[in-house]
């Protein structure tokens, strides 16, 4: 009986140690993601337009290091993709195609690991690429694929500001303005994200501007 009690105690201690180890491993990647989010928000919504290209280039290198350090985790892949997509938007034109192709690969890798990570952000961000990038033979753009991915993002995060904004933007560009108004309105009503006020404020400004266009103002 005493031996069994000792074994039970040892097993319990090992379980506690293992749990602590998982928490210790999780904390650094969470901290790294928060850091990348903050840097992206400042560049995207605060930095002068003329400075964003170089700033996103530096941030992309930083994000890639995070991805390498935390191999196998979907969150760094998603954020490296978001940063590359934003950098591509600043560059524009054919020069951006290489960046969006890299971002596409990163989103797909994140989905393969866990598509629900970060509330399905990989689906929404990948869907946005599919409706913004030109189609064949220049790029991989595909409106039908975009719709499928964006709807998947909404399924995972129906009240999310980004999921609703991206789908609203897609509908606007598809000239389905009444439906676009619905989803852009939902984006404006989305609950605030803790620690993401700058991003939320910036996205709401974009939603309001697009909503005015959809309403013909």
Domain count, the chain: 1
- pLDDT surpasses 70 at 152: yes
- Asked if residues 111 and 126 have their Cβ atoms less than 8 Å apart, the reply is yes
- pLDDT surpasses 70 at 217: no
Q: Which of 5-19, 50-64, 126-140, 177-191 has the lowest mean pLDDT?
A: 5-19
Model confidence at 27, pLDDT cuts 50, 70, 90, reads: low
- pLDDT surpasses 90 at 80: yes
Q: What is the per-residue pLDDT across 85-114, written as a single tens digit (0 to 9) for each?
A: 999 999 988 889 999 999 999 999 999 999
The answer to whether residue 192 is domain-embedded is no
- pLDDT surpasses 70 at 197: yes
Which residue is associated with the tokens 């605060």? 46
- pLDDT surpasses 60 at 216: yes
% of the chain surpassing 70 pLDDT: 87
The answer to whether residue 129 is domain-embedded is yes
Domain with 41, as residue range(s), is 33-157
How large is the angle between the packed helices 74-91 and 49-69, nearest 10 degrees? 160
The answer to whether residue 150 is domain-embedded is yes
The answer to whether residue 147 is domain-embedded is yes
pLDDT reported for residue 64: 98
Check residues 95 and 120 and name the one with the higher pLDDT: 120
Average pLDDT of the residues of the chain: 89
Q: What is the C-alpha to C-alpha distance for residues 51 and 102, in angstroms, rounded to an integer?
A: 22
The answer to whether residue 120 is domain-embedded is yes
The answer to whether residue 28 is domain-embedded is no
pLDDT reported for residue 93: 83
- pLDDT surpasses 70 at 10: no
> Which domain CATH number covers 96?
1.25.40.10
The answer to whether residue 211 is domain-embedded is no
pLDDT reported for residue 20: 33
The answer to whether residue 5 is domain-embedded is no
């Amino acid at each position: 009986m005493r031996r069994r009690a000792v074994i039970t105690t040892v097993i319990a201690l090992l379980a506690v140690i293992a749990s602590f180890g998982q928490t210790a491993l999780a904390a650094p990647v969470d901290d790294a993601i928060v850091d990348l989010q903050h840097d992206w928000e400042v560049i995207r919504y605060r930095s002068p337009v003329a400075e964003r290209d170089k700033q996103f280039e530096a941030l992309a290198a930083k994000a890639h290091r995070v991805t390498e350090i935390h191999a196998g985790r979907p969150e760094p892949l998603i954020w490296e993709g978001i940063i590359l997509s934003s950098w591509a938007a600043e560059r524009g034109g054919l020069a951006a195609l290489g960046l969006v192709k890299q971002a596409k690969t990163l989103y797909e890798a994140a989905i393969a690991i866990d598509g629900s990570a970060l509330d399905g952000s990989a689906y929404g961000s990948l869907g946005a690429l599919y409706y913004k990038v030109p189609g064949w033979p220049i790029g991989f753009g595909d409106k039908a694929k975009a719709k499928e991915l964006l709807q998947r993002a909404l399924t995972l995060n129906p009240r999310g500001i980004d999921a609703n904004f991206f789908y609203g933007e897609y509908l606007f560009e598809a000239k389905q303005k009444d439906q676009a108004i619905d989803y852009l309105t939902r984006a404006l009503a989305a609950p605030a994200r803790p620690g993401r006020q700058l991003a939320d404020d910036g996205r709401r400004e974009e939603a309001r501007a697009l909503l005015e266009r959809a309403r013909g103002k």
